[in-house]
Chain A
Amino acid sequence: MAPKTKAAGDGSGLMEMAWDPITRIVGSLGIHTKIDFKQKRVAECYSTSSVFRGYSVFMRGKDPRDAHFITSRICGICGDNHATCSVYAQNMAYGVKPPPLGEWIINLGESAEYMFDHNIFQENLVGVDYCEKMVKETNPGVLELAERTEAPHAAEHGYRTIADIMRSLNPLEGEFYREALQVSRYTREMFCLMEGRHVHPSTLYPGGVGTIASVQLFTDYLSRLMRYVEFMKRVVPLHDDLFDFFYEALPGYEEVGRRRVLLGCWGALNDPEYCDFTYANMTDWGRRMFVTPGVIVDGKLVTNDLTKINLGIRILLGSSYYEDWEGQEQFVTHDPLGNPVDPRHPWNQHTIPAPQKRNFDDKYSWVMSPRWFDGKDHLALDTGGGPIARLWSTALSGLVDTGYVKATGHSVVINLPRTMTKPETTFEWKIPRWSNALERNRARTYFQAYTAAVALHFAEKALEEVRAGRTQTWEKFEVPDESIGVGFTEAVRGVLSHHMVIRDGKIANYHPYPPTPWNASTRDTYGTPGPYEDAVQNTPIFEENSPENFKGIDIMRAVRSFDPCLPCGVHMYVGGGKTVQKMHMPTGLSGLGG
């Protein structure tokens, strides 16, 4: 392979560069850019996904009770979120409310998923972008400064300097990197205790779970959870030190991956005391979730009403490989409360694949363009990888208060109890000044602590049920001939909705919308770029390398801060007509000295 030099053919003097496939994310994503090396800025960005499977196509006509088993397979790192969302939608469609203990078990499983997924992504995928080896290759000056900078919270996490933290994140060789891999395992054990297996659950059903609720089950979970609580008391200050250092070392770094505050959160972790899975009461039980739903525009809460959120969802095309479904049959004209439902709403979507050549001036991705209509504009909401939107939304609403976590209206307070070697610890996540790469990453760490804290509450509630002898975890149901359902939850990476239509007892329409279609979406019919495109497009370049040795670390940090979850591809053309070939093996798994 000999990539040819390629200046952008538009006389702009820009350099075309592409990353393909992007590693250390889930799935396949491509980022194609035009870079202005004179201004040290990314001028244009296109996000492309190169894999199509067609769930909405092959689910038609199947038994609705198969939906959670099938949709789990949409994603190999957060499939359980799909299974959960699907059983929520099925519960609504069948009119069944699981026993409270079944819901606490699902909450404990989903909490473990957050704890596992954010941990492995933050330390073993994103963390590598901030490790000593990477910083040495991209910003040697920054590493020198890190060597001389004492970590403010060294007493809590044990690393004397910022460079020591960076070294601990080196792939495989880093002590903290290896520890995080172990943490990703016992958190998955916690998950498996509740949901059977990871990542595609075996014990989830509409109507509840098949998990046997015993004292042993919750003891096994709690003993691991306390290890994680202790771990987070080190990890929150560690990442605060690391990310704060980047602001200090590279003035202006807040601009990397920054975009307007346009955040969506669909709420997560239901309270069985209030949640009956009826559409009629969704507004109320949605506000009782342990992560509050919300749409945030420019720092203001537009709504935390799930019914409103539902009715505002629109699926636009524009740059993706599908035929439009305009004029096709509408499955749902009105919601169960009588509100009109838009033809571009997922309940009414038809997925008609149209494979074609990739053309960045026209159609260039298998990802559609979900938008949220506020009555005036089709907003390209993002989730910021999930945690930043969840904390922001929960903080602004000020509804959550379990003792372990409390939303204040401007922050979220997380109280972690005493553990084996560390005292009671309180962390406060305050609403940040920017929606940018570093703050998305910081929120991820804080949300790990948040999830550990709410899980303590769920475990206590579950044990109360067991001790009272209320051990039923599943409720019988019948599948109606005609029905609709919607499930809302927060997948690890953010908003997740499943919209289902049942006719003649079979699936007539099923459209899942995970977070990545929002984040990785393409330019829509109005020409509005998707969140990655928008965030990368303004990213300044701080990397010290010349164009020939350029890695695009700032672009990668911007993209990875969203915790992408799809297949990707990008090219780089180097100026001056020569191909750079570096023969080294810096892969994470080459073996030491390999």
Chain B
Amino acid sequence: MTAATPSTAGATNAGGAPADETPTIHILWINAGLSCDGDSVALTAAMQPSIEQIALGDLPGLPKIAVHWPLIDFECGPVGGADTFIEWFFKGERGEIDPFVLVVEGSIPNESIKPEGYWCGFGDNPETGQPITTSEWIDRLAPKALAVVAIGTCATYGGIHAMAGNPTGAMGVPDYLGWDWKSHAGIPIVCVPGCPIQPDNFAETLTYLLYQAAGSAPMIPLDDKLRPSWLFGATVHEGCDRAGYYEQGEFATTYDSPKCLVKLGCWGPVVKCNVPKRGWMNGIGGCPNVGGICIACTMPGFPDKFMPFMDEPPGAKLSSKASGAYGAVVRRLRSLTINTVDKEPKWRHTGDKITTGYRPPW
């Protein structure tokens, strides 16, 4: 996934931002879906690259950006007055900031199922004094956005808040806008699932889009569920360091065992996610690799298709039985080999004779 070298060979400033012909790219961040802000918070943990590296243009060829992000924004002035945060969103709607990327965090509730009121709002309508619903913001801003990015499983597919029995009719951004939706620049909705997102997964996707906007990377490669294919192409199990136990038919019967957790609720074999391979942050932590069953939090079927989480997945019964049978044979053969390779060759010893096979000339 290497990006092409930027074609702007022009002067760069000390911050490493490209020459002035590249416009500032604004990022409008709406955290007011049905969300917990966990994806915003997770992004502050990213190190590859970090938010300060992105914001200060620390990577070569990144365009200048201005992020309007509720979590850490400086602006805090009153509505309509000095230093108003929400004004950027009205500017986006009026076409006064171009280009901008719209980031949506949280699921989109269905506002049409009730006579009045709002499930979630972001800022107020100056005409009515009532909150502007999040879905209305999406209607206003999506047509003008360079790209729409859904961050977290709620915004991508509905997530926890779209669980069976929920009162809000919650859904993901593609459900709301349409799975075939494309921005005026021809970019499909970019979905980075995870509950929350793995920090570097999102930082990397955002960086890719900024390179693409600067003209130095081709169209972002997405799979049929609109996920970046280089991040979500493999399953949890394919990157899990406990898969060796699975192959040997050794399954944990208690949660504090170092062995494979598939019989205790781990869905890793059928879940697209890179966490065990990548670690949670800085290579530390994770899920099944460190004793936490995979509850499939990156998947469109999450959470309902995986509950109760602590029960064995039905599909695991058959496959673990199979691996239990041949795994025992594999384990026996391996233990024989281990016995052999666990000993040093016999020519390593003290005494006055060399037995390595070398013939001394004396």
The chain A residues found within 8 Å of chain B, CB to CB, are: 1-4, 17-24, 26-28, 30, 50-54, 57-58, 60-63, 65-66, 69-70, 73-77, 79, 102, 120, 124-125, 128-129, 133-134, 137, 171-172, 178, 181, 184-185, 188-189, 192-193, 196-205, 207-213, 220, 321, 353-358, 471-474, 476, 545, 548-553, 556, 567, 569-574, 579-582, 585-594
**Do residues A70 and B32 form an inter-chain contact, with CB atoms below 8 A?**
no
Known: A128-B74, A587-B74, A591-B56. A210 touches B80 (CB 8 A): no
Give the residue name and chain of the A residue nearest to B198 (CB): A197
A197 with B72: CB separation less than 8 A: no
Q: Contacts A50-B118, A587-B75, A591-B65: A212 and B36 contacting too (C-beta < 8 A)?
A: no
Smallest CB-CB separation from B289: which chain A residue?
Answer: A196
Q: Which residues of B contact A75 (CB under 8 A)?
A: 36-38
Closest to B73 in A: A23
Which partner residue on chain A sits nearest B261 by CB separation? A210
- Tell which of A2, A60, A61, A474 touches B255, judged by Cβ atoms closer than 8 Å: A474
Q: Mark B48-74, 1 if CB is under 8 A from A, else 0.
A: 001110011100000011111111111
Is the pair B78, A570 in contact by a Cβ cutoff of 8 Å? yes
B residues less than 8 Å from A205 (CB atoms): 255, 310
Pair A199/B38 contact, Cβ less than 8 Å: yes
B36 contacts A474, C-beta separation under 8 Å: no
Is the CB of B167 closer than 8 A to any CB of chain A? Answer: yes
Contact B131 A588 (CB under 8 A): no
- The answer to whether A66 touches B73 (Cβ under 8 A) is no
Contact, CB under 8 Å: A23 / B76: yes
Please name the residue on chain B nearest to A50 by beta carbon. Answer: B121
9 other A-B residue contacts (CB within 8 Å) besides A19-B79, A125-B72, A184-B44: A20-B123, A27-B35, A53-B170, A63-B309, A77-B41, A181-B52, A192-B285, A193-B285, A357-B130
The listed residue (A52, A66, A210) touching B292 by CB distance below 8 A is A210
Do B160 and A21 touch (CB < 8 A)? no
- In the complex, 26 of the A-B residue pairs with CB atoms within 8 angstroms, ordered by the A residue number, are A23-B72, A58-B166, A73-B195, A74-B36, A76-B38, A76-B39, A77-B37, A181-B51, A200-B195, A202-B295, A203-B292, A355-B119, A357-B116, A358-B117, A551-B81, A552-B76, A569-B122, A571-B129, A587-B66, A588-B55, A588-B67, A588-B69, A588-B74, A589-B65, A590-B67, A591-B56
Interface residues on B, range: 35 or more
Q: By the criterion CB–CB under 8 Å, are B256 and A591 in contact?
A: no
Chain B 310-344 interface 0/1 with A at a Cβ cutoff of 8 Å (1 = within): 11000000000000000000000000000000000
Q: Tell me if A's interface is mostly helix, strand, loop or mixed.
A: loop
Q: Nearest 10 A-B pairs (CB), nearest first?
A: A202-B292, A76-B38, A572-B78, A192-B285, A210-B291, A3-B80, A355-B117, A63-B308, A589-B67, A76-B36
Q: Which residues of A contact B79 (CB under 8 A)?
A: 3, 17-20, 570-572
A79-B36, A192-B284 in contact; A26/B80 too (CB < 8 A)? no
Contact, CB under 8 Å: B165 / A571: no
> Which single member of A3, A24, A53, A129 contacts B161 (CB below 8 Å)?
A53
Q: Does B87 contact A (CB under 8 A)?
A: yes
Report B116 CB to chain A, min CB distance, Å. Answer: 6
Q: Contact: A199 with B308, CB < 8 Å?
A: no
Instruction: Tell me which residues across on chain B come within 8 A of A28, comparing CB atoms.
Output: 31-32, 120-122
> Given A172-B55, A356-B116, A589-B55: A26 and B82 within 8 A (CB)?
no
Partner of A178 from the list B39, B52, B287 (CB cut-off 8 Å) is: B52
B residues near A476, Cβ cutoff 8 Å: 254
Contact between chains at A580 and B80 (CB < 8 Å): yes
Question: Which of B34, B38, B50, B256 meets A53, CB within 8 Å?
Answer: B34
B3 at the interface (CB under 8 A from A): no
Please measure, in the bound complex, the distance between the C-alpha atom of A424 and the C-alpha atom of B66, giving whole angstroms. 44
Contact with A along B238-256 (1 / 0, CB 8 A): 0000000000000000111
B15 A593 Cβ-Cβ under 8 A: yes
B46 to chain A, nearest CB (A): 9
Q: How far is the CA of A28 from the CA of B106 in the complex (A)?
A: 12
Q: Is the C-beta of B222 less than 8 angstroms from some C-beta in chain A? A: no
| B-side contacts of A589, CB under 8 Å | 51, 55, 65-67, 69, 72-73
Decide if A50 touches B32 in the complex (CB within 8 Å): yes
CA A170 to CA B47, docked complex, whole Å: 21
Q: Is the CB–CB distance between B195 and A571 below 8 Å?
A: no
Residues of B near A590 (CB, < 8 A) are 55, 65-67
Inter-subunit contact A591/B64 (CB<8 Å): yes
Minimum CB distance partner of A190 in chain B = B284
Q: Is the CB of A189 within 8 A of B73?
A: no
A58 and B42 CA atoms in complex are apart in Å by 25
Q: Is the beta-carbon distance between A18 and B124 smaller than 8 angstroms?
A: yes
**Nearest-Cβ distance from residue B277 to partner chain A, whole angstroms:** 14
Structural contact, B86 and A21, CB atoms closer than 8 A: yes
Q: From B81, which residue of chain A is reached at the shortest CB distance?
A: A572
Q: Are A556 and B44 in contact (CB under 8 A)?
A: no
Q: Are B285 and A580 within 8 A (Cβ)?
A: no
B74/A210 in contact, CB under 8 A: no
- Confirm or deny: B298 has a beta carbon within 8 angstroms of a beta carbon on chain A: no
- With A65-B310, A196-B291 known as contacts, the answer to whether A551 contacts B166 (CB < 8 A) is no
Contact with A along B295-314 (1 / 0, CB 8 A): 10100000100011111000
Q: Please, how many angstroms separate the alpha-carbon atoms of A57 and B160 in the complex?
A: 12
For the complex, give the distance between the alpha carbons of A127 and B308 in Å: 42
What does the 1/0 interface line of B193-217 toward A look like (CB < 8 Å)? 0011000000000000000000000
Complex Cα–Cα for A379 and B287 (A): 42
CB-contact partner of B41 in A65, A199, A357, under 8 A: A199
Docked-complex contact B285 and A197, CB < 8 angstroms: yes
Q: Which residue of B lies closest to A19 (CB)?
A: B78
Inter-chain CA distance A472–B258, complex, in Å, is 11
Q: Would you call B292 and A592 a contact (CB within 8 A)?
A: no
B28 to chain A, nearest CB (A): 11
Instruction: Indicate if B9 sits at the interface (CB-CB under 8 A).
Output: no
By a CB distance below 8 angstroms, the chain B residues around A545 are 82
* Chain B residue with Cβ nearest A98: B256
A73 contact set on B, CB distance < 8 A: 36, 38, 159-161, 195
Selected contact of B120 from candidates A137, A356, A567, A571, CB within 8 Å: A567
> Is B164 located at the chain interface by the 8 A CB criterion?
yes
* Interface flag for B275 (CB, 8 Å): yes
Given contacts A19-B79, A128-B74, A181-B44, contact A1 B291 (CB under 8 A): no
| Chain B residues whose C-beta falls within 8 Å of the C-beta of A63 in the assembled complex | 307-311
Shortest C-beta distance, A517 to chain B (Å), equals 14
> Measured between alpha carbons, how far is A210 from B309 in the docked complex, in Å?
14
Candidates A181, A184, A203, A556; contact of B291 at CB < 8 Å: A203
Our pick among B69, B160, B281 for the contact of A198 (Cβ within 8 Å) is B281
Q: How far, in Å, is A214 (CB) from chain B's closest CB?
A: 9
Given that A77-B37, A189-B281, A589-B65 are known contacts, is A580 also in contact with B117, CB under 8 Å in the complex? no
Most buried by B among A125, A205, A356: A205
Say whether B12 faces chain A, with CB atoms less than 8 Å apart: no
Interface string of B81-104 (1 = CB under 8 A from A): 111111100100000000000000
Provide the residues of chain B in CB contact with A193, threshold 8 Å.
284-285
